[in-house]
Amino acid sequence: MSKKKKVRVELRKNRTKPPRVNDLTQQFQTDSGAAGDAVSGERVRAKGDISRHRTVIVNETADAALLPGRVLRIHGLYSYVEVEADRVFRCTVRRLLKSLTTDERSIVTTGDRVWIRPESATDEGVIERVEPRHGVLTRASRRREHVLVANVDQLVIVMSLVQPDLKPHLIDRYLATAMKGGLGAVLCLNKVDLTDPVELQPLIGAYSQLGIPTVLTSAATSRGVDQLRELLTGRATVFSGQSGVGKSSLLNAIQPDLALRVKSVSEETQKGRHTTTTAELIRLNFGGWVVDTPGVRQLQLWDTRPEEVEGYFREFRPLVPLCGFPDCTHTHEQKCAVKDAVARRMVSERRYYSYLGLFRGVEE
Ligand SMILES: Nc1nc2c(ncn2[C@@H]2O[C@H](COP(=O)(O)OP(=O)(O)OP(=O)(O)O)[C@@H](O)[C@H]2O)c(=O)[nH]1
Ligand SMILES: [Mg+2]
Ligand SMILES: [Zn+2]
């Protein structure tokens, strides 16, 4: 336990400063006027307007030297934290913060809003606090939670039509993961230059009906790139998908000066090698942020009860109350409205199999 003491502090004057528009770091600093309080202590007792002071209970570890920032990427033991535009600190994580959590992989993740203690005269520091996360891309990895990215608005699910082949079940896993993490979803089908996408019309139609915008793209010919750029403008987006589908190539097409590393011709034969090795938060020059991530092989839902899974299949929702049993799992039951709808082709059989896969995947 850290020692606590009472101190009288002057009210922060900078809290009345108007925020700059369209600057996420600044927005964070303002949002966290409250976090300024949080840093100096857990309990705040107002003394009224007249005193211009308030009494706060502080942990002795807390002080005003902390700076707010955003984690751009993590490399080994270091997190790279942007404190102001273009000022990046290389930070370690406070030891206590590490011991508070059992899953060392996700104490700090790309996109986290953090408070750091800078070390004098260097661009190094220590992460002292991590703000609560919103909008996360999370998966289960060896029975642990792996938060790939935090504090983004939407997920772009990148699939290639060929090389590697389209995996519709993976799309459904991603859609469930996005819903669970509070993210909007966009489906991006890449490498349309390599094959005729006409056979995909039913699939695209099915996702449009579910309200998922779908973009056909080619990083090679720039087809669909303007449309994708428009969807990214002013938002914080994470790109995810299997290795080799073209996530980094698409981002380079959207903003060429990013110069992200993409798989080269000489590497083409090395199957299963990831070209992007770490999730990186990148500021876009047309407004917005994007996170390029390494390819995923599997996507397992984290911390999900089997009965939650139906909620991630939007088209099941009106059917569930019509099932014979109130706790119907839509797997083996008689009088199941979901299974009936599949039999009558009102619900896609493919989506139903995706449901079964996810349902069984989260059963203990
Ligand atoms: N023909 C064609 N090739 C593409 C397209 N997009 C990407 N590629 C190629 O596909 C390979 C993989 O592209 P990357 O951008 O490295 O793929 P990635 O999804 O970032 O892969 P990881 O970083 O490993 O997850 C490269 O050789 C690209 O040149 C496309 O639209 N058409
Ligand atoms: Mg990549
Ligand atoms: Zn049912």
| Tens-digit pLDDT profile for residues 259-276 | 899 988 766 666 667 889
C-alpha 318 to ligand 3 mean position (Å): 11
Strands 154-160, 184-190: pairing kind:
parallel
Question: Is 352 a residue whose pLDDT tops 60?
Answer: yes
pLDDT of residue 34: 39
Q: At residue 214, does pLDDT exceed 70?
A: yes
* CB of 31 closer than 8 Å to CB of 115: no
Q: Whose Cα sits closest to atom 6 in ligand 1?
A: 246
Q: Give the number of the atom of ligand 1 that is nearest the alpha carbon of residue 190.
A: 31
The pLDDT value given to residue 15: 38
In this structure, is the dihedral angle defined by the CA atoms of residues 194, 348, 247 and 283, taken in order, positive or negative? Answer: positive
Asked if residue 116 lies in contact with residue 91, where contact means CB atoms within 8 angstroms, the answer is yes
C-alpha radius of gyration, the chain, whole number: 23
The average confidence (pLDDT) of the chain is 83
180 and 303 Cβ atoms separated by less than 8 Å: no
311 close to ligand 1 (CB < 6 Angstrom): no
Mutate to test the pocket of ligand 1, among 249, 250, 276, 292 (most ligand atoms within 8 A of CB): 249
Taking the CA of residue 249 as reference, the ligand 1 atom at the shortest distance is 15
pLDDT of residue 99: 61
Query: From ligand 3's centre to the CA of 323, what distance in Å?
Result: 5
- CB count within 10 Å of CB 226 equals 13
Distance 271 CA to ligand 1 centre (A): 13
Q: Is the CB of 244 under 6 A from ligand 1?
A: yes
Number of the ligand 1 atom closest to the C-alpha atom of 276: 23
CA of 252, closest atom in ligand 1? 15
Q: Is the pLDDT of residue 217 over 80?
A: yes
Tokens 């030297």, residue located: 65
Name the region of 135 (left: φ>0; alpha: ψ -120 to 50; beta: rest): left
For residue 270, the model assigns a pLDDT of 63
Q: Is 288 touching ligand 1 by the criterion CB < 6 Å?
A: no
CA distance 266 to 124: 37
CB atoms within 10 A of CB 43: 11
User: Over 50: is that where the pLDDT of 301 sits?
Assistant: yes
The tokens of 42 are what?
């857990």
Neighbours of ion ligand 2 (CB under 5 A): 247-248, 275-276
Give dist(CA 297, CA 295) in Å, integer: 7
Q: Which residue has the higher pLDDT, 145 or 279?
A: 279
Atom of ligand 1 nearest to the CA of 239: 19
Q: Which two tokens stand for residue 100?
A: 């508070």
CA end-to-end span of the chain, whole Å? 36
pLDDT in tens, 324-343: 999 999 999 999 999 999 99
Rounded to the nearest angstrom, the distance between the alpha carbon of 200 and the centre of ligand 2 is 25
Nearest Cα to Cα of residue 187 among 149, 240, 151:
240
Q: Is the pLDDT higher at 288 or at 302? A: 288
Cα–Cα dist 335/328, whole Å: 9
223 lines ligand 1 (CB under 6 A): no
Nearest to 225 by CA among 158, 145, 143: 158
Residue-wise pLDDT for 160-201, tens only, equals 999 999 999 999 999 999 999 999 999 999 999 999 888 888
Question: Cβ(310)–Cβ(322) under 8 Å?
Answer: no
Per-residue pLDDT at 326: 94
Write down the pLDDT at residue 101.
55
Q: Which pLDDT belongs to residue 94? A: 86
pLDDT at residue 4 in the model:
54
48 C-alpha to ligand 2 centroid (Å):
54
Q: With beta carbons less than 8 A apart as the criterion, state whether 335 and 323 touch.
A: yes
107 pLDDT higher than 70: yes
pLDDT band at 245 (very low <50, low <70, confident <90, very high): very high
> How many angstroms separate the alpha carbon of residue 155 from the centre of ligand 1?
18
Tokens of 54: 């308030």
Q: Which pLDDT belongs to residue 272? A: 62
**Residues 70, 281: contact at Cβ < 8 Å?**
yes
| Closest protein CA for atom 7 of ligand 1 | 246
In this structure, of 114-123, 305-314, 335-344, the range with the lowest mean pLDDT score is 114-123
137: left (phi over 0), alpha (psi -120 to 50) or beta: beta
Cis ω before 197 (30° cut-off from 0): no
List the one residue out of 317, 355, 360 whose CA is nearest residue 175.
355
Ligand 1 touching residue 25 (CB < 6 A): no
Residue 243: CB within 6 Å of ligand 1? yes
Using the predicted structure, report yes or no on whether residue 59 has a pLDDT greater than 80. no
Residue 275: closest CA among 302, 251, 255? 251
